[in-house]
Structures are given as C-alpha cells and as structure tokens.
Structure 1
Amino acid sequence: MDVAVVGSSNYDMYTYMSRFPAPGETITGKKFQDGFGGKGANQAVCASILGAKVGIVTRVGDDKFGREIRENYERHGVDVTHVKIVEGVTTGIANIWVDDSGENKIVLIPGANYKMTAADVVAAKTLISEAKLLVCQNEITLEATLEALRCAKQSHVSTLFNPSPMIDFPDEIFSLVDIWCLNQTELELLMKFQAEDMYDTPENIRRNCSSLLSKSSCNGILLTLGSKGAAVVTKDDVVMIPPAHIRKKEVVDTTGAGDSFLATVAVCLAKNKSFVDAATTACHTSGETVKYAGK
C-alpha cells in the first residue's frame, strides 16, 4: 500500500451562478450538477488516478449516496475494505456555490463522517501500518483523526496532515504530524496569531512559520499560497514554488484544488521524491484541477 487515507466521504451538490446572492436575495443560477466529494475521498481517488495503491478508512450513510460513493471508489481502484455503512444517518453532503470567477462557498453536513470512532480506526490498523504514508484531514471526528495519526506513528509510517476545517487541537497533534500541508489562514488559526508580514518572501514565510516549526516535531511544512504557488518550509530552508501558468479566464472552479495538491504531494512522497519535487508537481496538478467544474 502506498497511501492510506483516513477521512471523509461526501456527496457534492454544485450550484453555479454569475455572482453570490446578497442576504435575503434570490437569484437565478446557471447550472446544477452533483458528484462525489469530501476531502478524504477526493484525495484517495486523485492519488489512485495518479498511480498510487490507495486504501481509505471512511464512513457513509445507509442511502443511495453511500452506495454510489463505494462504487466510485471501486471504479477508481481504491481499496474499500474499510468503507463502512452507518445505519440511521445520512451520507455527508456538501452544498457548493461557485461564481463566475471560480470562487466558492460551501455548507457541509457531516452525516456519517462524524460517526467514525477511534475503535473504527484501530480496526483498520493493518491498512495504515502497511502504507508508506498516511493522509488525514479534519472532516471526521477528532478522536478518529488522532487515533489514525497514533497508529501511523506506532508503525513508523509518515504522516501528512491538512488541518481543515480548523478546530482547536490538543497539543498532542504537534508530536504526531510529520508534514503539515496548510494555507495561510489555516496556519494563523492553528497557531493563534495574525501575521504582521506578507507571505511574499522566504524570510517573511519563515518568520510566519517559526512558531509551528518550533512547537511541532514535523519534518516540514507545505504552505499553499493560492495563485502565488506554494512554499516548502523546513528548519533549514524555505523554497518558493511558482504556480502553474493558468490564465484567469481558464479558472472554472477552485473547490478541489487543495485536495488535488495534497494527493499529489502524498503520491510523490510515497515514491520517495523530495518535498520540493512533490510541491512543484502538486502545483501543476492543482492548476489543472481549477480548469474544470467539480473536479
């Protein structure tokens, strides 16, 4: 197993519009489409498409969405041994609005994702221990995420974590993550500070990342900078990664860009590529993702 993912599975419902409505306003949208989503699901499927052997630990509801999600994993070659149905709850649902600029607003109903327990993760410990890399995010219960990271540490499996959506984490998290992948907002929320410096030079980025580097036992930070690319930050160096060359008119939907970035990083690291090579490849992959709706 190259990559084990412990995370969310959602069914996504996209509404496309020229602009977002103001409070109390009704507007006419342009298009509706639905499909598969959730950070964990996106990362697992993307990693499999990129050639990695992938397994996922996730929960879905006892409904048509859950059954379709499982079938989608199977179509993409993702191991579904630990895709379990939770009776009496819905599958996770995401309502996603996308405007003409490609920006998005998302309302998430967690459903079965919030029913995953530490015991569920322990039951999947063999999958985690046999992987080269564990990927986690934050769309499931904290107890499940922490247990997954613990299992990986105990098995000497590297861990890659995106702390999104952001919550207050216990200090234990800082000893369990080998590689942080997060954006500027997530960094500041995680470390509870407001940056005085722009994220525009290696020196400023190092200064803004210093608290996470000092508090964490991590090997490095992959800081995503939106249209400006990314930065690879270690205790010894900061390397700026340029963005993919995407014209503004090519941007259709930015929703899955972060997930495709993380999945690409995971696949590259599982293949023993360097942080810099992984981030460079990931910038190009996520750049391609924004050209398409619902990717």
Structure 2
Amino acid sequence: MKQHPNITVVGSNMVDLLSYLERFPERGETVFGRGFTQGFGGKGANQAIMAAILGAKVSMVTCVGDDVFGPKWIETFEQNGVDTSFVKIVPDNYSGVAAIWVEKTSDNRIVLGAGANEEVSPEMVDEAFDRLPKPDVIISQLEIPQSAILRGFQRAKEVGATTILNPGPAAPVQKEILDNTDWLIPNETEFALLAKEMAGIDASDLHQAVRQFGDRTRVNLVVTLGENGALLYMPGSGNDIIELLAPTVDAKDTTGAGDAFCGAFSYGIAAGLEPLKAIELANTLASDSVTRPGTQISYARNDHLEHLLEQVLNQPKR
C-alpha cells in the first residue's frame, strides 16, 4: 500500500453557512433556527482535505475571490496539508458560498453561489499539470466548469493517472468527460438524473439501471446510498453489483458526508487498495463524519482517525 500517493483535485471551494432547524420552512414561511455555524466546505475542498488527512499529497486547483474569505481559504488549505500553488485569487469576484439548512432529522438542503469557482479554466489546469507532481489520481466535481474538468481528465490520461468524477450537484455530464472517467461516484439522486438524461434509463429499479448504465458507458460505478452504504459495479469484471453496508451510527449532520466518502475512496484507490477495501474505508469515514456537525471539521483526525484506520486496514496510518 502506497502511504502518501499524489492526488490532484480540480474542483471547487465554498464558504459554508449552516443553519440548524427544527424543520424546513414552507413556502413564504419564516422559522427560527436552532443554531448557526460558518465554516469552509465545497465538494472539491472537502474531498481534498479528507484525502490529505489520510496522508495523501494533495494539490488543489481552484479559484477563490478577492473578498475576506480568499486569503482565509489559502490558510485553511495549508493548515490541512493541501498544496495551494494553484489556488488562484480572482479580482472583483466573491468566493463560492453554500447556504445550508440542516433539519433535526439530519437531512439537509443546500443553495450554492459559485462565485470564483466559475473561473477555473482549461488553461489553468494545463499550467497546473505542467508544474505539479505527476498524480496517481485526479478528482473533480460539477461545481466548476466542465471544460476544466475535461482538460484535467485528458491530462490525467496522458500520464496514466486514475480519474474520479463525483457528478454533483446533479447535472448531465459531457460525453467527452465520461469517456475519460475511470470511476463515477454519484449518490442515488445524481445517478437517477444521469441515467435518464444521458442514457434514457429509468432508475426506478436501481440495480438494473446501474447495470445498464455501466455496461453502456464502461465506467466503474460506485453509487452512494447514505446510511445504506454503497453499490459497486465494474462492467467487464465478471462480477455483478456488490452491496456494501455502512456502519450504523447516530447521525447529527449529514453535510459533507458524501465528500468524506469520495475523498477517502480516492485516497484508497491512489494508495493501491482494492476497490472493495477502498469503499469500506470510505463508508467508515463518511459514517463517522455524520456523528458531528459541520463539513471539514467533522472529519476524523489524530487518535480517532488512527483507530478507524486500524479497524478497516488492520494497521495504523503511519
């Protein structure tokens, strides 16, 4: 197992504004919140930090605004061991913002303002790949322009890196991106949209839809199911769909759990774990994260992380 693989994240960052509610308001209704926190999040940043916590050498390719949050973002990445050589501050723009409502049941609803994330470009990706260490894995999400994702995956293929796409927020993906994707990690809602919009597949029978989509695209699929774990389907492997259960926990806040899963899975693949073991690691860390509020701040660290890794890998992290 490779302890410190190189991972490049061509992705997003968001300032999380989390309101904790008894229940979501109805249309036109105002409700009091139970609490409020502000922190750093965004799918790309969350996944980068999860992989870095596990020991990967992570480089982030993203844009932040020239507002008060831009310099704070760079400081946050560096504090978590993420290389910021290609975190660009964009003049006259704001850093991405995520307004998050978390209900008492731990369910959430999120509204995004992309801001400077829209400025991540193919040219920026090219510059990063020309100067950064050769990656073992590259990860992207759909909170940045798809043209930048495509360029990153094309460059990854040139150097033999594994490409992983988390297609969230839910949206159709350019065919060229999918053609260069090794692993696709949607949640159940995101998968249903992709299956319908890109392949005309009805996902009411999830297992059948996963088989059809995987066989048609030839992309390895991991469909995350929240507290129910994940499905794995690798077309051409000779194996049918494999269901992997998640640990049972007392959930407090599910925000960022999917990113914990993707970051941990990406680390596992980059480190040389078999896909089943990488998913077990991802399920464990994602499930643990929902027992605490927040996104990045909910991810396991230090002795607690070591304990979880010993459970999954039967060895300490270092």
TM-score interval w.r.t. the shorter chain? over 0.9
The one-letter code sitting in structure 1 at the alignment partner of 2:209 is N
Which residue is equivalent to 2:52?
Answer: 48
Which residue is equivalent to 1:244?
Answer: 247
Contiguous gaps of at least 5 residues in structure 1: 200-204
- In the TM superposition, residue 245 of structure 1 has moved relative to its aligned partner by 1.6
* 1:107 pairs with 2:111: yes
* 1:291 pairs with 2:294: no
- State the superposition RMSD in angstroms: 1.3
Which residue is equivalent to 1:202?
Answer: none
Deviations 1:159-214 (A, max 9, x none): 011111122322212210001111222122112132232x4xxxxx2x21123222
The one-letter code sitting in structure 2 at the alignment partner of 1:287 is S
Which residue is equivalent to 2:221?
Answer: 221
Could you list the structure 1 runs, at least 4 aligned residues long, displaced by more than 4 angstroms after superposition: none
Deviations 1:7-56 (A, max 9, x none): 00111111111111111111111111100011000011111111111111
SS of the equivalent of 2:185 reads strand
SS of the equivalent of 1:130 reads coil
Deviations 1:231-289 (A, max 9, x none): 1111222221111121xxx2111110100000000111111001100001111100011
Which residue is equivalent to 2:101?
Answer: 97
Preserved contact between residue 96 and residue 106 of structure 1 (Cα < 8 Å) = yes
* 1:263 pairs with 2:271: no
- Take 1:51 and 1:185, find their aligned partners in 2: how far apart are those partners? 31
Contiguous gaps of at least 5 residues in structure 2: 296-318
- Structure-2 change in CA distance of 1:58 and 1:64 (3 Å): same
Preserved contact between residue 62 and residue 87 of structure 1 (Cα < 8 Å) = yes
- Take 1:229 and 1:253, find their aligned partners in 2: how far apart are those partners? 16
Query: So what's the TM-score if we normalise by structure 2?
Result: 0.86
* 1:134 pairs with 2:138: yes
- Structure-2 change in CA distance of 1:209 and 1:190 (3 Å): same
* 1:210 pairs with 2:214: no
Query: So what's the TM-score if we normalise by structure 1?
Result: 0.93
- In the TM superposition, residue 215 of structure 1 has moved relative to its aligned partner by 2.9
Which residue is equivalent to 2:315?
Answer: none
- In the TM superposition, residue 216 of structure 1 has moved relative to its aligned partner by 2.2
Which residue is equivalent to 1:231?
Answer: 231
- Structure-2 change in CA distance of 1:121 and 1:194 (3 Å): same
